[in-house]
Homo-oligomer: A and B are copies of this chain.
Amino acid sequence: MRLIDARERTAAIGAPMRNAAIAFDAMSASAVALVTDQGVTGYAFDSIGRYGKGALLRERFFPRLLAAPPDSLLDRHGVIDPPACARAAMANEKPGGHGERPGAVGLIEAAAWDLRAKIERLPLWRSLADYYGTRDAGASIRVYASCGHFRDDRLLADEVARARDAGYACVKIKVAGTLEDRERIVALAGGGPLAIDVNGALAPQIAQRWFAAMAEFRLAWIEEPAPPLDYELTRRYAELTPAPLATGENLFSYDDARNLLRYGGLRRERDLLQFDPLLSYGVAEYVRILELFAGWARRQFLPHAGHLFAAHCVAGLGLGMAEAAPEATLPYGGYWDGVRVQDGCVKIPDLPGVGYEAKANLFALLEHR
């Protein structure tokens, strides 16, 4: 088997919403297809929030992948080996500088995983579990709903109620990192587990008062109170609150994850890790990170975004929970057509690969229709 084409399409996914750090009006995402000479195609779709990677893919990573000796991309059984695809893409790249590159390479590896699982006629989670020897893998996973981007505050309670009605137990909302956050949360408390995402915006001067104000809510977690690379501030914030902290979605490599572990003061019995395999060179790098966090429970890993691909990673690697945009009319929202969230869980349908073909509005983007 050999790859005969690699394609990318940058999809505009702008939405009139904000978090505490950025606006999403002009947001884009990459849809990737790896085409083989055997009629099977592997797909990948971006995590949302850092723009498409089409140009990097076309300039550097696709040409290297397609120029690699076909056998060098296969495992010893002759099946496509996704980590080998990522390695081929990374030839002659300097160390450090983990920004857009890990997202571009992650997309290639993800599409190769879709391909591998299809060739094996397995759902991706099963293929991943076999490859990495996960013992407690299964099709049912816990999911949470990501809500409350800054649009119109009056709509927030509605949005959260709709997510809970749709079957989500745990819901996450965006907050501003100011003392007004209390009011935003009070209006929602009591309905079920609630997490908040500060997107790095909490000011150190008010941190003590802010964490004290949050104490009344028994939050599921507090996400990114400090900027992603400020490990020292993360460490200090961890000392200010008994609530679980969650972070890592803006660290895109093993090396950065190791620095978070070394310096971030995270608490092994409590805190949560949100590295995103799709934005971070793919599953092979992610598994190295899992191994680095020896002694941490797999359920403490909640990959950021990633949608259907991330759901398979959660199932196939035995992770804690997948993040979902609950709005199924969005290509990157909801799950496979007809699949419902129930009691905060989703059962991945028994389809080969990721199953993009079974979510019509997303597959239309992937197949460039």
Contacts and interface: CB of A to CB of B under 8 A. Distances in A.
Nearest to A254: B229
Nearest to A251: B96
Given A56-B56, A59-B52, A259-B229, A252 B97 contact: yes
A228 to B, nearest CB: 4
Contacts of A250: 94-97
A98 B54 CA distance: 18
Contacts of A205: none
Interface in A224-270: 227-232, 250-253, 255-256, 258-259, 262-263
A251 B93 CA distance: 15
A211 B227 CA distance: 36
Interface string A24-37: 11111000000000
A68 interface: no
Contact of A96 (B54, B58, B229): B229
B229 A22 contact: no
Contacts of A93: 22
Interface string A308-345: 00000000000000000000000000000000000000
Contacts of A95: 21, 200, 227-229, 250
Contacts of A23: 92
Given A55-B55, A55-B56, A99-B102, A94 B255 contact: no
A125 interface: no
B251 A231 contact: no
Contacts of A227: 95-96, 255
Given A49-B94, A55-B56, A98-B229, 12 more contacts: A23-B92, A25-B92, A51-B59, A55-B59, A98-B99, A99-B99, A99-B100, A99-B102, A100-B100, A229-B256, A230-B258, A263-B263
9 closest A-B pairs by CB: A99-B99, A55-B55, A96-B250, A96-B228, A229-B255, A97-B99, A22-B92, A100-B100, A95-B227
